[in-house]
Amino acid sequence: MTPSPRRAAKVDAILDAAMTEFVTQGYAATSLDRIASGAGVSKATIHSYFQYKEVLFAALVERMATEVKMAEVLVGSYPDVLSLLRAVAVAILYKDEKSLHLRDLIRLIIGESGRFPELAKIFVQRLCMPMMQTLRGAFQQVPELADLDTEILARSFLGSIIFFDLLQDTLHGQAVMPMDRDYFMNTLLETIAVWIKPS
C-alpha cells in the first residue's frame, strides 16, 4: 500500500532530522527527543513509525540507497557486464547532494562500528550485499570467467571503487595524492575488459 502524502511527509521529516542528528551527534548521543524536535513531531509519532532507534537507522540506510539511485542501477537492463560495471562505478564515484549525504552516513558507520557493530551490519545487508549479488550474477553470465571465483571478482571490483572513493574524498587523499576520477574509472574498466575479452 502506498503511504498517504501526509504520512510520507512525516516519515521524510523524521528521516531528515535523524540524518542531521546522527551525523552531527553520533549514533549513541542521538536521542529520539532531538529527532522529534528537528522533525516537528512528537516522540510518540516517531515510535508509531519506527519502534526503536536501530529501526530508524535501517530506514535511513534504505532511503540513502534509493536516493543515490543504486536500486535503479541494480535492477536496470544492460547490454553487457561492462555497462553494468560502469553504471555501478558512476553511482558510487560521481556524487550529487544525496550521494554526499551517503558519504556522511558511511563516515558515521565507520566511526561507530566498534561500539555498534549492528549499524555496520545493517549497511552491509541493505546496500553492499545487493550490489555484490548483482555483480556476481553478471560475472556468472560471462563465459570467459567461468573458471574464476565470481565472489572474488565482485569484491575486487567493489573494493577498488569504494577504496578510491574513501581515499580521495573521506580521507581527503585528493589533496595529497590526486588522481582524476574519469581516468581511474575508465582504466579500471579497460583492465576488466581485458579479462573478459574472448581469446
Query: Model's pTM, two decimal places?
Result: 0.74
Residues 94-123: what's their mean pLDDT?
81
Query: Amino acid identity of 103?
Result: R
68 and 39, same structural domain?
Answer: no
Nearby residues of 171 by Cβ (< 8 Å), 6 or more positions away: none
CATH of residue 25's domain is 1.10.10.60
86 and 175, same structural domain?
Answer: yes
Q: Which domain holds residue 20?
A: 5-51
Does 58 fall in a domain?
A: no
Does 56 fall in a domain?
A: no
Count the domains in the chain: 2
80 and 172, same structural domain?
Answer: yes
pLDDT at 91 exceeding the cut of 90: no
Using only C-alpha atoms, the chain has a radius of gyration, in whole angstroms, of: 19
Query: Amino acid identity of 72?
Result: E
141 and 85, same structural domain?
Answer: yes
* The pLDDT value given to residue 97: 59
Does 41 fall in a domain?
A: yes
Cα separation, 36 vs 13, whole angstroms: 9
Residues 14-18: what's their mean pLDDT?
93
90 and 156, same structural domain?
Answer: yes
Q: Tell me the per-residue pLDDT of 130-167, one tens digit each, with 9 for 90 and over.
A: 888 888 888 888 888 888 899 999 999 999 998 998 89
Cell digits for 77?
A: 537492463
